[in-house]
Chains A and B, each alone.
Chain A
Amino acid sequence: MVSFINFKGLAAGILALLVAATPALAQDKPLEKMSVGMPPVYNAVGIYYAKELGYFEQQGLDVDVQIFRNGSEEIVPMLATGKLDAASTGLTAGLYNAINGGAGIILAADSGHHDSQKSERPIQMIAISKQLYTGTLTKEILKGKTFAVPTRGNAQEIFIDLFLKEYGLSIEDVNIVTVPFSGMVTALAGGSVFGAPLLEPYLTIAKRQGAAVGVKASDELYPRQQAAALMFSKTFMMGHRDRAVKFITAYLQGVRYYLAHHSSPADLDFLFKVTQKYIPLKDRSLLDEIGKPSLYPDGRLYRDSIKRDIQWFVDHKYIGRALALDGLVDDSLLDEALKALGSQPVPKEKPSLEQRVSNMNNDLRLAVLQPDKVVEHCGLKPGMSVLDIGAGSGLFTFRLAEALKGGGMVYATEVSDELVRSLQETAKAKGLGNVTVSKVDPDGLDPFYGRQAYDLVLLSGMYYHLDAPRDYFRQLYPFVKENGRVIIIQPTNEEFFVGQQFTSREMKLMSASCSGAVRGNPVCARLRPAAREYLSGWQSGEPSAEIREMLAADLNAMLIDTGLFGDLRSFYKAKGLGDPTSSAVARMSTRQDLFVKWLAVRLDEDNAFGRDIKSLSEDDQKMLNRLNGLCLRGVLNLDRTLDPVKNFYLSDIKAITREMTAAGYRLVRRDPFWTAYYFLEFAKDTSSVT
């Protein structure tokens, strides 16, 4: 394998490769001709490289690369009529309409998607005209503004719609105009459009020219969106399937070469040299700044995204009916190419520190954990010494430090170097001089803890990480002041619903669960009329915060409804045959059928159904909560809401109290003001011998 260390070496290598490969091919068999069309964008780099590095020729293909300034709008009719054999272009409503109308086109491989996580240099961003940007975006500011898209019914519109949803708006609330990508920079600079989803290299050009400000990246708004695909004309496929396989093989070689060589100056020199033929880019230095295309080394299309986007186009009346993915996507060409090339799956990326911190501080977590309320309950006084064990992203650390009003000290500990650094940087950025961050050893009690005495020790979501809690708290005991307290915040195993959890997909599923044959099901019947009406009339879009909270409140009320399971059982039983509960449970699609049955038997044994919730034992209340939660999630198809519960562990209130008591503490306050967490406050039990 040739290793290229600079452009000259690279060119020589390519030459050698071509010299080695071409004569044999030229002597044996003439090259087979193919035509491929694409817009002038970086996503098609796999094709540019396959052409320039001789991969097509190695496969016996002579590929004519044609560039279409207006992208899919021009390319799709050419492909549909067989004037092009293949294309690499965006997945648009126009494409799907053409296929719905009988155009023989199949999608074969990835040729551009959004990253699966936020990248430092995204390839696309929502850019706002600098002339019109005040530094703030609100619902009021955005409403009625003009946004540019390259064509109507384009994936860019979905991107804009998702962006606007963050402000409680949708694409219907703004004015959409069509401007080619190459004209968007000028439009933004002159203020004739307020915003646009700028793709590289135009994004970097716009930033350099001071024409626009990037405010939201595509990979943040819609990770893994399948934006473009390599596609073939069916007419071509019928006569030349083998050529299509060869084309994909060469294309993947080009993609893999790009993925392995896209960061050094020599790599970028070569990229510039190659792409200049296809993309009107004159300034080499732009390549040092622009976001690079995301491509899969195995070329696999991300079907979920295609399905989701088609549905968006249907919902927004761009296409009349959804297409079946099986007829649209053909993986067989890719499979054949991969047989020859071997698979090279995408390495699993470790989340970046920024992403980890962002996950720890996401809105849902804040809504559920309510850190401000926790700090309020801690009863801090200026001058106190506070220990935050396992501080993570500093969700509590900085709030505690602020509550001390500049006095006292918060000692925040972490086992991760990255998080320690992040905590230190954030404390500095916030100007909090009363935060001391320390890395600690995860084994036992680190010596660091013994250097201070603490008025308050806080452990949030940490207890279950301790190997031997009893020993740990015994060792900590001497360093807790006489009147000091230890607060343990611990997730419960309880089911709960938070309005912010509901995605638009879940809204759709909930809506479907309250209409049609299951319209009168006991869950929907228990919703308030306003919530029920909202669901029955739901078409698309995000619900308001008010509706979200109403739905969550109604579902939370059902969690303690002792009659819900019986009503569900009767309802589903009436629709099925056989064992009334097995079939009913199966029809509820809980996927936890054994669990549901187990809970139902125990509650039935205790005669808990139909009784006043207050008369139930604590254990029965817990079991009812789980039973109803499982059924609600099953009936309404709320899969995602299982995630928080799934990740929770175990140790319950009595187990924690037992360990703490044995370690020399006594429970002084139990304040479950959340549905999902315990707040357990312990004081030193001076009467106990430990």
Chain B
Amino acid sequence: MRSLRQLLCACSLILGALLPLSTLAGTLPKAEIPVLLDHCGLKPGMAFLRIEAVLPVPDPAKGLYDMILLDGIYPRLADPRSYLTGLLPALKQGGRIVIIQPTDEEYFLPSFISDADLLSVHELFKGPKGEDHPVFKRLRAITQACVRQGEAKECRIFLAEDLNAMLAEPGFFGALRAFYYVPREENPVFVIAKMGTGQDELVKLLLGQLEDTGALDKEPGVLSREEKDMVNRLNGVCIRAILGLKKPFAELRERYLAGRQSIIRAATGAGYKVSDGGAEQPGHIILEFVKP
């Protein structure tokens, strides 16, 4: 298999423009690039086009490509179905189109946790009630120790792992609510306000729907896809707010939209077939379609 740089150079030659490594690294965290390329199944000699700006496909490209990669541009397409239809002639018969799309799923990476974030977490848990906090209680002993010290590079790794585990836990919000709730002192809606999420309306809607289906009392394994999705967002919003983690919020703010089903609808509408090669990375969906 070619190296990443060789591969990108090959792509660049076809495109007639240099695509530096940093361009791709800016779209996905570096650590995920090899996973992506493994997934694409690229082989030496393949003609590969990576599109990262909404531009018309050049005419000479007709029937030339084995694979076209749409990297993060899908949300910028005014009419995705027409655009994908326009790409069909550029692909060889049996050629594939890969769409990499950020999801608006919550997740934590060590690189998302800044020094300021770590300090904020440290401050939250160092107080007398810190040990009782539902987030602290869910941290592993090793994470608890390092966030209390408020330093160590590894701490980010441990913390991200533990927080990602909390994202999937249906009972997490109930524990938070019990922690922040003062019975009868005020309207229970203000419990959410106390958490300081800044997204109270979203939290309320998620909570209402999850309570309605009884999802908050279920085991993670039996949740429907929609419920998982909602638990992820609910817990993520709360974790970010309570721990004062700024960066993941900024990441989400920039993101859009189009979900898996929406993309599949557009691609099949444009004449592609869904390949079984779809995959997911934290924060990303990777969908593959074949030209029949």
Are the CB atoms of B209 and A652 closer together than 8 Å? Answer: yes
> Is A5 an interface residue when CB atoms closer than 8 A count as contact?
no
- Distance of A616 from chain B, by nearest CB (Å): 14
> Is A465 an interface residue when CB atoms closer than 8 A count as contact?
yes
Contacts of B154 in A (CB 8 A): none
Contacts of A649 in B (CB 8 A): 187-189, 204
Contacts of A653 in B (CB 8 A): 212
Contact partner, A580, options B75, B211, B226, Cβ 8 Å: B75
Are the CB atoms of A465 and B257 closer together than 8 Å? Answer: no
Are the CB atoms of B212 and A601 closer together than 8 Å? Answer: no
Are the CB atoms of B257 and A581 closer together than 8 Å? Answer: yes
Are the CB atoms of A464 and B188 closer together than 8 Å? Answer: yes
Contacts of A592 in B (CB 8 A): 199, 201-202
CA distance A595 to B208 in the complex (A): 14
> Is A10 an interface residue when CB atoms closer than 8 A count as contact?
no
- Distance of A639 from chain B, by nearest CB (Å): 13
Contact partner, B183, options A467, A646, A658, Cβ 8 Å: A467
Contact partner, B199, options A595, A645, A646, Cβ 8 Å: A595
Given A467-B183, A580-B76, A648-B189, are A604 and B259 neighbors across the interface (CB < 8 Å)? Answer: yes
Contacts of B259 in A (CB 8 A): 601-602, 604-605
> Is A626 an interface residue when CB atoms closer than 8 A count as contact?
yes
Interface of A is mostly: helix
Given A597-B104, A598-B104, are A580 and B262 neighbors across the interface (CB < 8 Å)? Answer: no
Are the CB atoms of A646 and B201 closer together than 8 Å? Answer: yes
> Is B156 an interface residue when CB atoms closer than 8 A count as contact?
no
Are the CB atoms of A598 and B233 closer together than 8 Å? Answer: yes
- Distance of B245 from chain A, by nearest CB (Å): 14
> Is A442 an interface residue when CB atoms closer than 8 A count as contact?
yes
Given A580-B75, A592-B201, are A650 and B262 neighbors across the interface (CB < 8 Å)? Answer: no
Given A467-B183, A582-B254, A652-B209, are A646 and B200 neighbors across the interface (CB < 8 Å)? Answer: yes
Are the CB atoms of B256 and A597 closer together than 8 Å? Answer: yes
CA distance A415 to B257 in the complex (A): 47
Are the CB atoms of B189 and A595 closer together than 8 Å? Answer: no
Are the CB atoms of A604 and B183 closer together than 8 Å? Answer: no
**What is the interface size of chain A, counting residues whose CB is below 8 A from a CB of the partner?**
42
Contacts of B258 in A (CB 8 A): 601, 604
B199, closest chain A residue (CB): A594
Contact partner, B188, options A465, A581, A630, A655, Cβ 8 Å: A465
Are the CB atoms of A605 and B75 closer together than 8 Å? Answer: no
Contacts of A582 in B (CB 8 A): 253-256
Contacts of B213 in A (CB 8 A): 654
- Distance of A61 from chain B, by nearest CB (Å): 47
- Distance of A672 from chain B, by nearest CB (Å): 15
CA distance A652 to B208 in the complex (A): 6
B77, closest chain A residue (CB): A580
Are the CB atoms of A598 and B202 closer together than 8 Å? Answer: yes
> Is A455 an interface residue when CB atoms closer than 8 A count as contact?
no
Given A595-B205, A601-B259, A605-B261, are A579 and B76 neighbors across the interface (CB < 8 Å)? Answer: yes
Contacts of B129 in A (CB 8 A): none
Given A650-B211, A652-B212, are A595 and B202 neighbors across the interface (CB < 8 Å)? Answer: yes
Q: What 1/0 flags go to A644-666 for Cβ under 8 Å of B? A: 01111111111100100000000
Contacts of A464 in B (CB 8 A): 187-188
> Is B64 an interface residue when CB atoms closer than 8 A count as contact?
no
Q: Which of B204-228 contact A (CB under 8 A)?
A: 204-205, 207-209, 211-214, 226
- Distance of B119 from chain A, by nearest CB (Å): 25
Given A581-B256, A606-B261, are A652 and B211 neighbors across the interface (CB < 8 Å)? Answer: yes
> Is A493 an interface residue when CB atoms closer than 8 A count as contact?
yes
- Distance of A662 from chain B, by nearest CB (Å): 11
Contacts of B254 in A (CB 8 A): 579, 582
CA distance A626 to B201 in the complex (A): 9
> Is A161 an interface residue when CB atoms closer than 8 A count as contact?
no
- Distance of B10 from chain A, by nearest CB (Å): 30
A642, closest chain B residue (CB): B201
> Is B78 an interface residue when CB atoms closer than 8 A count as contact?
yes
Are the CB atoms of B187 and A650 closer together than 8 Å? Answer: no
Are the CB atoms of B184 and A594 closer together than 8 Å? Answer: no
A495, closest chain B residue (CB): B201
Contact partner, A607, options B78, B189, B261, Cβ 8 Å: B261
Are the CB atoms of A650 and B188 closer together than 8 Å? Answer: yes
Given A580-B76, A594-B252, A658-B214, are A605 and B204 neighbors across the interface (CB < 8 Å)? Answer: no
Contacts of B209 in A (CB 8 A): 619, 622, 652
> Is B265 an interface residue when CB atoms closer than 8 A count as contact?
yes
B191, closest chain A residue (CB): A649
- Distance of B15 from chain A, by nearest CB (Å): 23
Contacts of A600 in B (CB 8 A): 257
> Is B194 an interface residue when CB atoms closer than 8 A count as contact?
no
> Is A593 an interface residue when CB atoms closer than 8 A count as contact?
yes
CA distance A650 to B201 in the complex (A): 10
Contacts of B133 in A (CB 8 A): none
A618, closest chain B residue (CB): B212
Contacts of A645 in B (CB 8 A): 201
A609, closest chain B residue (CB): B262
> Is B2 an interface residue when CB atoms closer than 8 A count as contact?
no
Are the CB atoms of B187 and A647 closer together than 8 Å? Answer: yes
- Distance of A144 from chain B, by nearest CB (Å): 47
Given A465-B184, A598-B233, are A650 and B204 neighbors across the interface (CB < 8 Å)? Answer: yes
Are the CB atoms of A626 and B75 closer together than 8 Å? Answer: no
Are the CB atoms of A626 and B188 closer together than 8 Å? Answer: no
Q: What 1/0 flags go to A540-579 for Cβ under 8 Å of B? A: 0000000000000000000000000000000001000011
A592, closest chain B residue (CB): B201
CA distance A645 to B205 in the complex (A): 11
> Is B260 an interface residue when CB atoms closer than 8 A count as contact?
yes
- Distance of A631 from chain B, by nearest CB (Å): 13
Q: What 1/0 flags go to A601-630 for Cβ under 8 Å of B? A: 110111100000000000100110010001
Are the CB atoms of B189 and A650 closer together than 8 Å? Answer: yes
- Distance of B19 from chain A, by nearest CB (Å): 21
Q: Which of A437-458 contact B (CB under 8 A)?
A: 442
Contact partner, B257, options A595, A597, A630, A651, Cβ 8 Å: A597
Contacts of A655 in B (CB 8 A): 208, 211-212, 214
Closest 9 CB pairs of A and B: A595-B202, A654-B212, A605-B259, A655-B211, A652-B212, A605-B261, A604-B262, A652-B208, A649-B189
Mark B residues whose CB is within 8 Å of A. Answer: 75-76, 78, 104, 183-184, 187-189, 199-202, 204-205, 207-209, 211-214, 226, 229, 233, 237, 252-262, 265
Supply 4 further A-B pairs (C-beta < 8 A) apart from A598-B104, A648-B204. Answer: A601-B262, A605-B260, A622-B209, A646-B189
Mark A residues whose CB is within 8 Å of B. Answer: 415, 442, 464-465, 467, 493, 573, 578-582, 592-595, 597-598, 600-602, 604-607, 619, 622-623, 626, 630, 645-655, 658
| Cross-chain pairs A/B with CB under 8 angstroms, 13 sampled | A465-B184, A580-B256, A592-B199, A597-B256, A601-B257, A601-B259, A602-B226, A607-B261, A626-B201, A645-B201, A648-B189, A652-B209, A655-B208
